[in-house]
Homo-oligomer: A and B are copies of this chain.
């Protein structure tokens, strides 16, 4: 992996940011890091280490699980990725480069993860932290819910899918 990278138009900006991060941290630009980052920037859903590995199944010879975890960790600390628990035993990730901040609704019926933003809630959070003597640095707000029309939810069948 030594050529000038030539990414798809759509993710070139994200890749530039990723490479900048690597350089800033004195880390090397390797084939594995490029492969994982491209894959992540090409996915527009929440994912887990396992589902990422699944997306890479046709390229499995090129990357190991250990390296995936190592790259996820770099991207999280570099703020290209956010990490979520959602009450499960494994972590979810989502890439946040160029995405505006949002919180999540997790459907207990169909496992869907829906995003939302609420400037009002954000404002209240700051006020609350302040009133308790803290400076807010971040937050996680997860709403757990059920589809209003369970029977007509086309996602319901996915309920028992493994890490989506």
Interface residues of A (CB under 8 A from B): 85, 87, 105, 107-108, 114, 116, 118, 120-121, 124-125, 128-129, 132-149
Closest B residue to A146 by beta carbon equals B135
CA distance A120 to B123 in the complex (A): 11
CB of B132 within 8 A of CB of A114, answer yes
CB of B120 within 8 A of CB of A124, answer yes
CB of A129 within 8 A of CB of B147, answer no
CB contact between A132 and one of B105, B120, B133, B138 (< 8 Å): that residue: B105
CA distance A137 to B150 in the complex (A): 14
Chain B residues with CB under 8 A of A124: 118, 120-121, 124
Tell me the smallest distance from the CB of A112 to a CB of chain B, in Å.
9
CB contact between A138 and one of B107, B137, B144, B148 (< 8 Å): that residue: B144
A-B contacts, 27 of them at CB < 8 A, read A105-B128, A105-B129, A105-B132, A105-B134, A108-B137, A114-B134, A116-B128, A118-B128, A120-B120, A121-B124, A121-B125, A125-B143, A128-B143, A129-B145, A133-B148, A133-B149, A134-B145, A134-B147, A134-B148, A135-B145, A136-B143, A136-B144, A137-B144, A137-B145, A138-B144, A139-B144, A140-B144
